[in-house]
Amino acid sequence: MIDQQQLIIKMNLDAWNTQITKADKLFNSLSDEQLQEQVAPGRNSGIYLLGHLTAVHDALFPLLGLGEKLYPQLEDIFIKNPDKSGIEKPLTKDLRNYWSEVNNKLSQHFNQFNIDEWFQKHTSVSDEDFEKEPHRNKLNVLLSRTNHLVYHLGQLAFLKK
Amino acid sequence: MIDQQQLIIKMNLDAWNTQITKADKLFNSLSDEQLQEQVAPGRNSGIYLLGHLTAVHDALFPLLGLGEKLYPQLEDIFIKNPDKSGIEKPLTKDLRNYWSEVNNKLSQHFNQFNIDEWFQKHTSVSDEDFEKEPHRNKLNVLLSRTNHLVYHLGQLAFLKK
């Protein structure tokens, strides 16, 4: 029985890792100039989506009880405000590094999680609610963020010529 | 222990259902004329992606051992060939119905699966390979198709004004 649980957690973690690898390849294949472009007319720029994904992944540290965000300044620029807020964005080369660093550090944590940790509640659900809704656990956060990443990857793919 | 397995399967199935519901809402919010448009300049049309997603989901019946495809004619038009193949496409209103029917019928099957069925091999992996790679099971197909759907949903969202 333990085997099936390990297997299913591996499947969900593999799905996350596969999409992170696809995103890495895509970002590496795009020049800084290409990232400045909008993914479609009137839509978000590549650089905004890179920052947005980095900020959302960075928020996983506190949400999963893994410590503080590495780059808390990204939330205001890339989550709370839209692309054309007029707020100055970090340099593209710095954002590329933030993206890698956040995901590498998350990966180190994920590889050390045991099965029970994945079933623990995340930090934004109360003990009472978690008792009624045990699916609001850390693994579900991973599943949800995988889908969030894939959604924007479908859009970022349009930056490739 | 059984509880955790049921929980994790529910989480993965919920993720699929959530995205199907989002897709339904999106398709219902778009007129036939909007679906004719490309999601971005030079990219697939909404109608092609609707047909593509329907064909890919229809292929889940044989892949998961649930019977024959409902609309086998879609594979040639929407999987084997690109949008501008020149092959005549079904009427948009018919495609909308195919989409609903395929997903409704899949959903009926999924709701009846027990835990062990999700861990069974899908039909395109051999017994020998499955012994070495037990993650190539039916649940992993669901996970993979959820991500496929989300990827294209990120693109289809651009049809909304």
Give the CATH number, domain containing residue B50. 1.20.120.450
- A114/B contact by beta carbon, under 8 A: no
Residue B104, in any domain of the structure = yes
Residue A113, in any domain of the structure = yes
**Mean pLDDT within A39-49:** 98
Residue A131 has pLDDT above 70, yes or no: yes
C-alpha–C-alpha distance, residues A99 and A64, integer Å: 18
**Would you write out chain B's pLDDT as a tens digit for each of its 161 residues?**
458 889 999 999 999 999 999 999 999 999 999 999 999 999 999 999 999 999 999 999 999 999 999 999 999 999 999 999 999 999 999 999 999 999 999 999 999 999 999 999 999 999 999 999 999 999 999 999 999 999 999 999 999 98
Among the partner-chain residues B4, B143, B154, the one whose CB lies closest to the CB of A11 is B143
Residue A116, in any domain of the structure = yes
Residue A7, in any domain of the structure = no
Q: How distant is the Cα of B71 from the closest Cα of chain A, in angstroms?
A: 26
Range of the domain at A44: 32-159
Residue B142, in any domain of the structure = yes
The model carries a pTM of 0.97
Are the Cβ atoms of B11 and A119 closer than 8 angstroms?
no
Residue B20, in any domain of the structure = no
- B21/A contact by beta carbon, under 8 A: no
Q: How distant is the Cα of B7 from the closest Cα of chain A, in angstroms?
A: 6
Residue B19, in any domain of the structure = no
Note the ipTM here.
0.96
- B5/A contact by beta carbon, under 8 A: yes
Tally of structural domains, chain A: 1
- A155/B contact by beta carbon, under 8 A: yes
Are the Cβ atoms of A9 and B9 closer than 8 angstroms?
no
Best interface-test mutation with B: which of A7, A9, A11, A116 has the largest number of B CBs within 10 A? Answer: A11
Contact present, A70 and A97 (Cβ < 8 Å): no
B101: Cβ–Cβ under 8 A, 6 or more apart, which residues? B70
Residue A25, in any domain of the structure = no
Among the partner-chain residues A137, A143, A154, the one whose CB lies closest to the CB of B154 is A154
CA distances, A43 to each of A92, B9, B144 (Å):
18, 35, 27
How many CB atoms within 10 Å of residue A100?
Answer: 15
What pLDDT, in 10s, does the model give residues A63-98?
A: 999 999 999 999 999 999 999 999 999 999 999 999
What pLDDT, in 10s, does the model give residues A62-72?
A: 999 999 999 99
